[in-house]
Structure 1
Amino acid sequence: MTPVIALRNARVRHGPLEALHGITLAAPSPGLTVLLGRNGSGRTTTLRALAGTANLSAGTVVWDGEDVTRVPAHERARRGLCLVPERQAVFGSLTVRENLELTAGSPDPALDAYPELKRLLERRAGTLSGGEQRMLALSRALLARARVVLVDEPTQGMSPPVATRTYGLLGALDACVIVAEQRLPPALPDRRTLVYELRRGEVVFSGEATELRAETARDRRRRSP
């Protein structure tokens, strides 16, 4: 796997506050990368910086070896980047069917991935539960056949079995997939997963998920009496 999209010494400011302090990271394709961190760590800002919805105050965004820092978000989307935000990821006034029809192609693959949506096709998306809205938002991302898929808290509100299925779907995509999570998901696929842990706008760990789990286990043993 080779890096397809990356941030290099990226800084993002929200008014007088700096949210990202010169972070560098790279995500491969195909492959699954997890941005790990608590609220306020900078993980959502990192996704938005990659998508072009948050402007860098310094540093660069590189995609397939090209500096796309000044490429606007709509052009990145046209080139094959799909962002699924944590909130407002579906069109609430449209039905489930209409949301799916906004994406080119047949909705059947999405309904195969999430058969729970079949009985909800005529419901307005805004009336769905949080987990159902996440399924719909991710279904649209699956239908888009994007080259880069960015998802903020993909399994929020989902039951454990559906969360496991979701990570299986994301891990099977022939794409660069980057997800932001507060904790390392137990449902991560067996294939190699890259993890960046962020804390207060800085990268404090980078490596494979298995390495982070081993490091966490060692810390627990050291703290135990």
Structure 2
Amino acid sequence: MTTLSLRHARVRYGPLEALHGVTVAAAGPGLTVLLGRNGSGRTTALRALAGTVRLTGGTVVWDGVDVTRVAADERARRGLCLVPERQAVFGSLTVRENLELAAPSYDDALDAYPRLESLLARRAGTLSGGEQRMLALSRALLARARVVLVDEPAQGMSPTVAARTYELLAGLDACVIVAEQRLPPVLRGRAAVVHELWRGAVVFSGEAGEYERRKAARPTGSRPSA
């Protein structure tokens, strides 16, 4: 089993603190969702786990080892794969070249997203948003990473492809953490762990089913409460 967590994490962007002592934990194989509106801190938490933003307080712990001071590239070499929301592919390279950077054989990527086969000769920067997400996620699937972090994996995808994407992520033999604004429909009622963030703080941690029940009982437009 692989575990990854933030413990009492704080992150500042200049004078503004984006995370206020956030503690979240994930284990794999399995799927963990960081939920929150824009400005909630979910993307910052994901980047902190990946090491692409520096903590100003707290720790990042991977399999019981403090990796707070381990650089992002070293975390990648140890088996962590980050798929950011933007600039997740090499736009000047073709789809084929993007896939070949991840693995010499990319048949599994084409099985996961058959649409990519007809796009192999296209430059990645000319693809639609949904197609770029498929390509970025295909590269993550080929990486065989121990930890996979994805910011809004289904952005720009049709509902059918989005559902397929979550099936693929849930089936990985890895600790998978995704950041989303809302709980994806395909995960409702499934065994996924949810951490909801609000203005840089965690206001809920638990199973997806419990999150849905609390959300249903929450007055419309009200602030989430722990």
Q: CA RMSD in A?
A: 1.4
Q: Render the CA deviation track for 1:122-148: whole Å, top value 9, x for unaligned.
A: 000000000000000000000000000
Q: CA deviation at 1:218?
A: 2.2
**Partner of residue 154, structure 2:** 155
Q: CA deviation at 1:187?
A: 1.7
Q: Render the CA deviation track for 1:148-171: whole Å, top value 9, x for unaligned.
A: 000000000000000000000000
Is the 1:42–1:201 Cα contact (8 Å) retained in structure 2?
yes
Q: CA deviation at 1:52?
A: 0.4
**Partner of residue 197, structure 2:** 198
The TM-score normalised by the length of structure 1 is: 0.95
In the aligned structure 1, how far is the partner of 2:129 from the partner of 2:190?
28
Is the 1:149–1:176 Cα contact (8 Å) retained in structure 2?
yes
**Partner of residue 211, structure 2:** 212
Q: Render the CA deviation track for 1:94-114: whole Å, top value 9, x for unaligned.
A: 000000000124100000000
* 2:127 pairs with 1:95: no
Letter in 2 for 1:167: Y
**Partner of residue 172, structure 1:** 171
In the aligned structure 2, how far is the partner of 1:3 from the partner of 1:98?
30
Q: Which runs of no fewer than 5 residues in structure 2 stay unpaired?
A: none
Letter in 2 for 1:168: E
In the aligned structure 2, how far is the partner of 1:88 from the partner of 1:3?
27
In the aligned structure 2, how far is the partner of 1:81 from the partner of 1:174?
13
Q: CA deviation at 1:191?
A: 4.2
Q: Say which SS state the counterpart of residue 187 (structure 1) adopts.
A: helix
Q: CA deviation at 1:49?
A: 0.3
Correspondence 1:46-195 to 2 at 5 A: 46-188=45-187, 191-195=190-194
Q: CA deviation at 1:215?
A: 1.2
Is the 1:60–1:69 Cα contact (8 Å) retained in structure 2?
yes
Number of positions where the alignment pairs a residue of Structure 1 with one of Structure 2: 221
Moved over 3 A (4+): none
Letter in 2 for 1:136: L
Q: Which runs of no fewer than 5 residues in structure 1 stay unpaired?
A: none
In the aligned structure 1, how far is the partner of 2:204 from the partner of 2:155?
24
Is the 2:148–2:175 Cα contact (8 Å) retained in structure 1?
yes
More moved, 211-220 vs 55-64:
211-220
**Partner of residue 29, structure 1:** 28
Q: CA deviation at 1:217?
A: 1.7
In the aligned structure 2, how far is the partner of 1:72 from the partner of 1:16?
23
In the aligned structure 2, how far is the partner of 1:175 from the partner of 1:204?
26
Q: CA deviation at 1:198?
A: 0.3
Is the 1:171–1:189 Cα contact (8 Å) retained in structure 2?
no
Is the 2:10–2:21 Cα contact (8 Å) retained in structure 1?
yes
